[in-house]
A and B are shown apart, each in its own frame.
Chain A
């Protein structure tokens, strides 16, 4: 099988350097948060002895002045999708093997004279120039990959029918076998594909099992593995910005639930089941937090998706308050292949009840407009010292994506106060009538560490009429507000 390989080494780093050209000569590490540790996903060319997946902490010990950039999967996805679309126009059968390595089935399309050169040019054109793509063409995926690797950027290398001679001088590190096996090859002095190809098949099988046979065959240029075309569907991404930075797990779970509902209410998601769920929390201090979750049973509804990941997220401790949230669903399948559960999850809302509420909500939308509907009050942090950060209002159904879907409750309202000795002695209601007041209670709140420090003195005042009213003096702004506590 004639295969073309479009190779872009260090794809992610090249994308980032295109965004930040001033870092071109710097030591740069691209990383992502993987559970507890930040790990390297790519690095610039002046960094050595670093492997992908290595903890950033370890790399920083060697390169203490390296610039760290957090990986931005959303942006990469856009570029890759565009490249895939262009390659699909050349051949219907393409395999995206890994980031930066794509195989194109050339059988049947390159038999026309001089056509191969044109095809190679189109393959090269599929990638932006700043990514320095290269192409290799050979019989089989592995030889074409090695051919691409050996060529100069922006060029192509074609290798003949029997590539074994061509492959001899290349390192065994290129082989798609477990890294432990490659380490063993080196330990035994077999550093090149030629040295591997010289071994007897029996000895290789005895020492390395099937990996040994595979490695030897590939070293000889024998690669009959088929291309596995992408079952590609664009990931679905939803985003929400919170009304205030919140560290409450209840808060982010509610927002997440809303995002799931919005995602699954899209037309394109009908009968679609997602294998992968990516969540990104944007935080105060310009931080962000990622979690990529691959689910065993693909999820096909907002409820099941939410309940599936709730357990995972329940114990998450976030380093900083969340300001926004992005949800991405990907790895889609159709319903086939999903095994029905024998046992139902009791926490899932009763379907009937849900449908009734949904219908009711739908009616309200129709009669009163899209920004109206049923809402529920969700606890964010019921014990938070600031009342406006305790509860939020969340729509029950599918709100319009353009409207603000999460609203804070009990926000402070500006009020005019007459003071005596620095304390409120009377309050003005609607700017007209005045209530003389007596002080019943007072307390202070100083949240000095918040992005916008909060320093308030609350007063509970008893009006002439006997009623109580709670006001506070915002020390930072020098203003008075009324707020239930």
Chain B
């Protein structure tokens, strides 16, 4: 690489709405132009680490910098020469983010405070000095340049010259050159790169318009209309600056001075936990473990002691005691919050009622169980250590913590406060463009009608923008527009934007703790949720930086489990210790294997229900496989799931493609199920280290990775060849790896245990299970109506709410679920509390009149209660109740009720029919406790339409017609492209399999609530479904509750 020019001012998509190229595209172009270095100067540092990583892998010297916008809207470009310089740039971005994090602006007063190791370029035509020159204020420009020189040092200031063929460039460059010469400052040429290739200028223009929420016509004056902001060849740049060759040569000088390497110069360390005086972290951890063990195991046997000693030895060896105690500190913060909101007794030891639970390595550690970061006793489940805490551990294990929904939000803020907002920051999340966003943004920029764009977004089914034209051709409304100029532009530009970074959001809960201020490493900003702070880096960058990310996640099942245990204790006086339940209860597995696990965490999706029937789990280990199999990463391997079932359940013979696969895949019958297996497989086949193999695994999951995967294949092939594996076999094994998500093995254990606990409670305490399931909605797959139907099959009927019996939330009444008042539409939590409080204070309500006069609710709210049947126990006729609900004038604000005379000449009103009552209950509660809509529809159906229960009893390939309410629709992105729709009737439910040709024909019918399906019974591996040949909607005017759609 011999180029005499380096790009020092370049923007990528990470400049959100300004740059129009991916980082890898910029780097590929850099390589093509035979340059050895490149600087990335986005308007943030979001892409800095990705740039560094990719640049290293491409053999390009990465120079990190940024373009900062000052409060007067002028720009400056800063480049990091040293580690300190990078910290200063990060700090300056951080200060700019302090105001409005959406449009960061830096007060220039901070500039002189953060100059060490920083090199400043005067910027593009919107730079502070160029702007002054354009306005003819040369003296002020000189003064500003003098300030830069004073602050940064003369040798760290460069006057930037651009030649982008914009009006005024020549004149400005002449003046800039004159000032630089007069003041003895060096000049440097840049092309202010906004895209790698000239053809991207259209996309860049459109992105600017979309960022400004308008169309191109409205902001023509703000656009880079010359189309010359691409990465130019060295020859082109030399030609443009032939009158000033030093501007070109200075780029090399700057590149030489920027020795900072972000991938190796980060100064990150975990903070140290607080330990009492006289203790070291390990001694304190030891004491905590033994104290808890004495409480947990009344008879401490040798097995327990040996396990604790072994774990503590390994923890001490890997210097992990502080790390473990840090987690405990977070869990203690959570316990404090639990006590504050009345969810636990602060006097109880932490491990009695865990505020959260681990889902990673901690599951296998007894120490984790004892100090309260795990909910699993590894001795009960025979979990071994070596996979999670091996002797040769190189990096800190990943421990994600799950917390109840009610707790998590407060916990995040508590952690910020406890550690300090500069030492505890949430990981960012880079939002990327997908089909709908692409249509919306490009369409807006092009000035296409919003109605049409919205309509198109709704109708397109493909997620691939390169197929937008085909999609439009398949839609009648858009068929004729594909060649219209603006629509053609939309089609052409759409493909260029797929997966491009769109903006910075907040990761679901990844928290970074650091012993040094995080803004010195990466800028942070206020989250859109007050009291939270997010950093510019996403989880991939955080992992590349070697940060220890603690995922503070929300898991609604924990709220439910907590509620069930409390409810059982309240009803029976018995406190269930979920860590001590029988892990091999046959009744529980029977329930799962019969597909009756709706509402059970992780086991309730239609795919999991089927998997239960196919795998016929009998042990926790089986369940671990079951939860791990239904993941995109496993499903993405050709026939992997079926093959696993065949081998594991049915004992079919199988073999390895190469003996080197054995170590990685022996425990899963030769199929890749877990992330660790991918790492092991790569490592064993190609002989690279586990860390490198893990990098390779993550490469598969990264965006726009084709060129990187090609490099991975080269590396893999070479290593495999060295290990004696022929190319064809290596290729076959390499093709098993995909970038889709699959569980880590420990994660499968943690989740399988939680799923088993939930299933256990559903099996043995169904009333409590359904009450708490209702109270913790939304969670899971199904609408309330489906859960109610499922409850009926467990002999747990639902009852309509009652103003004299119901509480705010659902409660147990006998053996049934009494629906809570807050479940009624328009009533809500506060009104429900008011109703209950009035009843407790002054006795039951005697009539509707009595109710409306005592509780001052909005009429609509009372009407909803009537329609939900909440007055049925005191007034038989709901219409009469409705009449009375608005008969009395409603006092406003604090007025006292005025008992005016009202004509009580009530007319005789016929009560609603049962069908009308059902419609009212669906409308007000999304649930019809006493029946199912199909009971009313059935009489109108032809005699040959069978129930789903009857369909399940038919022979394979029998012709069948069924009808039901659609409760779930799924369209997995697999090879078969089959859509699955589950319909439910008054007897049961059944899955419809819809092949692509049928789907194409009936795709609009699928949006209807009630469907009539013709098809053929398909029995396979213990499951039953209907392969659909025809679909027809059944008209119904009910407000059917929404379903889980197309995920």
Contacts and interface: CB of A to CB of B under 8 A. Distances in A.
Interface of A: 38, 56-57, 60-61, 64-65, 68, 184, 187-189, 198-200, 202-203, 205-207, 245, 247, 284-285, 287, 317-321, 381, 383-386, 440-451, 458, 485
A321 to B, nearest CB: 5
A370 B905 CA distance: 78
A485 to B, nearest CB: 7
Most B C-beta atoms less than 10 A away, residue of A64, A206, A285: A206
Contact of A187 (B216, B485, B879): B879
Contacts of B489: 449
A65 B227 contact: no
26 contacts: A57-B454, A60-B458, A64-B455, A65-B476, A184-B882, A189-B910, A203-B907, A206-B902, A207-B883, A285-B448, A287-B449, A317-B218, A318-B218, A319-B447, A320-B215, A320-B217, A320-B447, A384-B220, A384-B221, A385-B221, A440-B170, A443-B165, A444-B165, A444-B227, A444-B228, A449-B489
Which 10 pairs, one residue from A and one from B, show the smallest C-beta to C-beta distance?
Answer: A383-B221, A247-B217, A202-B903, A206-B903, A444-B226, A441-B170, A444-B165, A320-B447, A443-B167, A446-B227
B175 to A, nearest CB: 13
A449 B446 contact: yes
Interface in B949-971: none
A207 B863 CA distance: 14
Contacts of B166: 443
Interface residues on B, range: 35 or more
A146 B226 CA distance: 67
A205 B455 contact: no
Contacts of B879: 187-189
B762 interface: no
A448 B202 contact: yes
A485 B227 CA distance: 19
B61 interface: no
Contacts of A320: 215, 217, 447
A465 to B, nearest CB: 21
A285 B228 contact: no
B502 interface: no
Contacts of B216: 447, 449
B905 A202 contact: yes
Contacts of B168: 443
Given A198-B907, A245-B217, A447-B216, 17 more contacts: A57-B454, A65-B476, A188-B883, A202-B905, A203-B903, A205-B903, A318-B218, A384-B220, A441-B169, A441-B171, A442-B165, A443-B166, A446-B226, A447-B220, A449-B216, A449-B486, A458-B167
A187 B882 contact: yes
B445 to A, nearest CB: 8
Nearest to A36: B450
B960 to A, nearest CB: 30
A205 B903 CA distance: 8
A411 B218 CA distance: 21
A57 B457 CA distance: 12
Interface string B202-235: 1001100000001111101101011110000000
B214 A317 contact: yes
A68 to B, nearest CB: 8
Nearest to A319: B447
Contact of B909 (A188, A284, A285, A317): A188
B1014 interface: no
B459 interface: yes
A188 B225 contact: no
B537 to A, nearest CB: 35
Contacts of B206: 449
Contacts of B887: 206-207
Contacts of A65: 476-477
A394 B202 CA distance: 34
B477 A64 contact: yes
Contacts of A199: 907
B455 A60 contact: yes
Contacts of B450: 319
B201 A446 contact: yes
Given A65-B476, A200-B905, A385-B220, A445 B226 contact: yes
A49 to B, nearest CB: 9
A386 B485 CA distance: 21
Contacts, number: 128
Nearest to A317: B214
Contact of A188 (B451, B459, B882): B882
A445 B225 contact: yes
A445 B169 CA distance: 13
Contacts of A198: 907
B647 interface: no
Nearest to B884: A207
Contacts of A385: 167, 220-221, 223, 225
Contacts of A68: 451
A318 B449 CA distance: 10
A386 B221 CA distance: 9
A2 B833 CA distance: 58
A383 B485 CA distance: 26
A447 B458 contact: no
Contact of B169 (A64, A285, A383, A443): A443
Nearest to A445: B225
B453 to A, nearest CB: 10
Contacts of B902: 206
A242 to B, nearest CB: 13
Contacts of A321: 217, 447
A38 B454 CA distance: 12
A287 B225 CA distance: 25
B539 interface: no
A65 B910 CA distance: 42
A64 B1004 CA distance: 9
A134 B450 CA distance: 39
A114 to B, nearest CB: 45
A105 B451 CA distance: 44
B886 interface: yes
B942 interface: no
A189 B909 contact: yes
Interface in B874-917: 879, 882-883, 886-887, 902-907, 909-910, 912
Contacts of A444: 165, 225-228
Given A188-B882, A247-B215, A443 B226 contact: yes
A287 B452 CA distance: 12
Contacts of A485: 167
A319 B210 CA distance: 12
Identify which of A60, A198, A200 gathers the most chain B CB atoms within 10 Å of its CB.
A60
B226 A285 contact: no
A188 B909 CA distance: 7
A446 B451 contact: no
Contacts of B448: 285, 319
Interface in B740-797: none
A383 B455 CA distance: 35
Contacts of B455: 57, 60, 64
A200 B886 CA distance: 17
A202 B216 CA distance: 64
Interface in B90-116: none
A207 B910 contact: no
B900 to A, nearest CB: 10
Nearest to A381: B221
A279 B903 CA distance: 51
Interface string B854-871: 000000000100000000
B459 A319 contact: no
B1009 to A, nearest CB: 12
Interface in B144-177: 165-171
Nearest to B1004: A64
A287 B214 CA distance: 16
A161 B1022 CA distance: 75
Contact of B486 (A189, A205, A245, A285): A285
Contacts of B217: 245, 247, 320-321, 449-450
A57 to B, nearest CB: 6
